[in-house]
Structure 1
Amino acid sequence: MESREINEFKEKYRDIILGYLESQDEEILYSCEKLTREGMENGVSPEEIVNLHRAILEEYDANLPTHVSSSFDVLLEMMMGYGMAHMEHLSLRTEQQALRREIAQAEDMQKTMMKSDIPNVAGLEVGAVSVPMRQMSGDFYSFTNEGENKISVTLADVIGKGIPAAFSMSMLKYASDNYGGDAKTPSEMLQNLNEVAETNIDDNMFITMFYGLYDTTNHLFEFASAGHEVGLYFDAQTQSFTDLYARGLPLGIDRNATYRAFEKQVAKDDMIFIMSDGVTETRTADGFIEREDLITVFKDSIGLAPQKLVKEVYDRLCKLQDYELRDDFTLICLKRV
C-alpha cells in the first residue's frame, strides 16, 4: 500500500502534466523543481516517474500512438541506469562528507598538537607565520625554553603531501618535545630525531629540519640543519643580508648520519630568518622567485617588528603567486633587541 506522501506526489505530477498539455503555460513548469525535491525526499525513483508519466499520457489520450508509448521503454531503461548511477553518486558523496569530517577532526587535533606559542624572552623579539597549502600541514615549528637563558627554535618540513606527511610531522613533533628541555646541542638533537625518523617513517618520505639554540646571556646562536632551506641573517649595522648556511642529510635517510653545528654571534638589532621551501620556492608566472628578489621583499619590510614583518612578507609573496600557495608556508624571525 502506497503512503499518503507518494499518492500526493502522483496527484501533483498528474496535475502538472494535464495542466501543461491543456494550456502550455510555462508558469506550471516552475513547480517541477519543488516537486522533484518532494519526490527525492519520499524515495520516488526515476523509473517510477517514467511509468507514472506514461500512465498519465495513456489516460489523457486513449489513442496514444504506439511509437510514443513504446519509446517509454527506452526511457525507462535509461532512467533505471541513471537511478543506479545516481544512488552510487549519493553513496560516494556521503562517504566523501564523512571523510571530510574525519579530516577536519584530524586537522583540529594536529593544530592542537602542533601549537607553539610565541615566546616572551628578554632581549629577543620573535615573529612566526605558518600557513598550510591544504587542510593539514607538512610543516611544523616550535619554541622551547631550554633552561633559564636558552631558547630553542625548530622548523621542519616533510617531503611529501597530505595526511601521511601531516601525521609523520606530528610524530616528529612529539619526539622533539620529548627530547627537548635540557639544552641539547643542535648536533645531538638532530641525531636523536634522525633515529626516530629513520625507524618510523616510510622509505619514500623524509624530513628536513633546522634546529637552533639561542643563548640570551651572550646572544650566541648555535644551529644545525638536516637538509633544510638555507636561512637568512640580517646585519643591522651594514644593512646587509647573508645566508645562514648549514649542511646535513635530511632526517630518515641514514640512521648513522651526523650533523655539524655552526655558531653566529648576534649583535643588537640583527635578525635571523628561518623558513620552509614554501617561502624560498615562491612561484610567479615567470618561474621560481630568485634569491635576490626574495631578499628585496625582506628588505622592504625590515623596519617592522618581527611579527608584523613575517606577516608582511607572507602577504607580499602570496600576492606574487596570485594568492595560491603551492606549498606549506612557514617563516620565523628572531631579532635581538
Structure 2
Amino acid sequence: MPQEFKKQYKEILKQYTLSQTEHNLYEGQNVSRQLIQKSISPEEVISIHKASLEEIIPGLPEEVLHSFDFLIEVMIRYGLALKEHQTLIEKQQNFKMEMDLATNVQQTLLKTKIPNMNGLDIGIISVPAKEMNGDYTHFLSNENAIGIAVADVIGKGIPAALCMSMIKYGMDSLDGPETDPVVVLDIINRIVEKSVSDSMFISMFYGTYDSALSEFTYASAGHEPPLFYCAKSGEFKELQAKGLLLGVIPNVRYEQHSIVLEKDDFIVMMTDGVTECRSKEGFIDQKIILSIIESVKDKPAQEMVEYVFHKLEELQEFEQRDDFTLVIFKKSL
C-alpha cells in the first residue's frame, strides 16, 4: 500500500478531528476515488484509519481500538458477500440480455401475417406470460382458403422457442392452405419427433376454411378443442378430434372433421392459457368463459378476442400464469 496515501489520509483525518468543516469532508470524498483507482479494500482503509487515529489521538481506550479490529472482520466478510452479489447481478443482466435477444429473434422468426378474406372476419391475440411465448399461431392463405395453426409447447423459455422454429419449418414446407389438416399434422409430427428433445411435447390444432363451401375442416394433436358457436341456435359446441401430442411417436393416426359455417357463426381456437385461467378461488368455470365470449358475439372478431382477454385478465386479478392465445374465425357474410 503506498506510503504517500497513508500520510495523505492521516493528514485529512487530523484536520477533520480538529475542525469538522465541509472542506474536510470534501477532501475525504476525493480520497474515496483514489481507493478505487489504487484497488484498496474497505478493510485496508479501516486499518489505515485505526493506525492514523492512534497517532492523532494517543491513549485511546483499548475498547475503541478493539472495535476497529471487529469492524475489519465485518468488512472482510462484507466484501466477499458484495463480490458474490455483484457477480450474480452481472450474470442476471447477461441472462436478461440473452433473453431479450432471443425474444426479438422469436418474434421476427415466428411472425405471421393475418390474411384478409371477403366474408370471413379474423381476430387474434397472443400474450406471453413471460418474456418468450410458448404459444404459436401461423396462417397460410390464398384466394380460396385460409389455414390456421395454433400450437402450445409444453415447456417455456428458449427450448420452447426452438420447438416453435421446428413447427415453422414444417409449416413453410407445405404447399398451401388447402393441404388436409391430417396431412399437416403428420408432417409436423415427423419433424418434431426427429428434431426435438424427448422431454418437449407440443399440442397443435390445424384447420382450413374453404370460402367457396363455407366449410371449416380440422384436426388436432392433443390440443384444446375449439368452440363452434351456432348463431341460429345460440349454442356452443366443442369441435373434438382425437390425436396424440406431436413428437411422441413418428406414426400417428389423426382424425379429421368438417363443419359448415353460416352467417354470424364463429369458431374459437385457443391454448390452455384461456381454458385454465385461475382466480384465487381456483379455475374459472368454462360457463363463465362461454358467457364472456357470447356477450360480445355481435362485435367484430378482433374486438371479441381483446375483450375476452381483458375480462379474463381482470378475473385473474391481472396475474397471468400462462401464455394466452385466442383466435376467432367469424363468418360475416
Superposed pair shares fold, TM > 0.5? yes
Structure 1 pair 14/232, CA: closer, same or farther in 2 (3 Å)? farther
TM-superposed deviation, 1:107: 0.4
1:277 to 272, 278, 282: 272
1:98 aligns with 2:99: no
> 2:221, 2:246 within 8 Å by CA — same for their partners in 1?
yes
User: What's the secondary structure of 2:173's corresponding residue?
Assistant: helix
1:48 aligns with 2:38: no
1:140 aligns with 2:136: yes
Written as runs of structure 1 = structure 2, the 5 A alignment for 1:209-288 is: 209-288=204-283
Distance 2:251 2:170 in 1: 18
User: What's the secondary structure of 1:179's corresponding residue?
Assistant: coil
Name whichever of 43-52 and 226-235 sits farther off.
43-52
Distance 1:59 1:199 in 2: 77
Residue-pair matches, total: 331
> 1:140, 1:173 within 8 Å by CA — same for their partners in 2?
no
1:63 aligns with 2:59: yes
- Per-residue Cα deviation, 1:44-88 (whole angstroms, up to 9, x for no partner): 422133223323432442111223223322321221222122122
Give the equivalent residue in structure 1 for 2:147. 152
> 2:209, 2:215 within 8 Å by CA — same for their partners in 1?
yes
1:107 to 103, 108, 129: 103
> 2:117, 2:143 within 8 Å by CA — same for their partners in 1?
no
Give the equivalent residue in structure 2 for 1:189. 184
With structure 2 as the length reference, what TM-score do the two structures score? 0.89
> 2:242, 2:255 within 8 Å by CA — same for their partners in 1?
yes
- Per-residue Cα deviation, 1:187-225 (whole angstroms, up to 9, x for no partner): 001011111111111112200000001101111100000
With structure 1 as the length reference, what TM-score do the two structures score? 0.88
Distance 1:91 1:53 in 2: 29
> 2:9, 2:31 within 8 Å by CA — same for their partners in 1?
no
Give the equivalent residue in structure 1 for 2:17. 18
TM-superposed deviation, 1:142: 1.0
- Per-residue Cα deviation, 1:222-255 (whole angstroms, up to 9, x for no partner): 0000000111111112222111222211101121
1:79 aligns with 2:79: no
TM-superposed deviation, 1:93: 1.5
Give the equivalent residue in structure 2 for 1:167. 162
For the aligned residue pairs, the C-alpha RMSD in angstroms reads 3.0
TM-superposed deviation, 1:39: 7.1
1:125 aligns with 2:142: no
Structure 1 pair 159/60, CA: closer, same or farther in 2 (3 Å)? same
Name whichever of 170-179 and 192-201 sits farther off.
170-179
User: What's the secondary structure of 1:274's corresponding residue?
Assistant: strand
User: What's the secondary structure of 1:111's corresponding residue?
Assistant: helix
1:331 to 307, 326, 332: 326
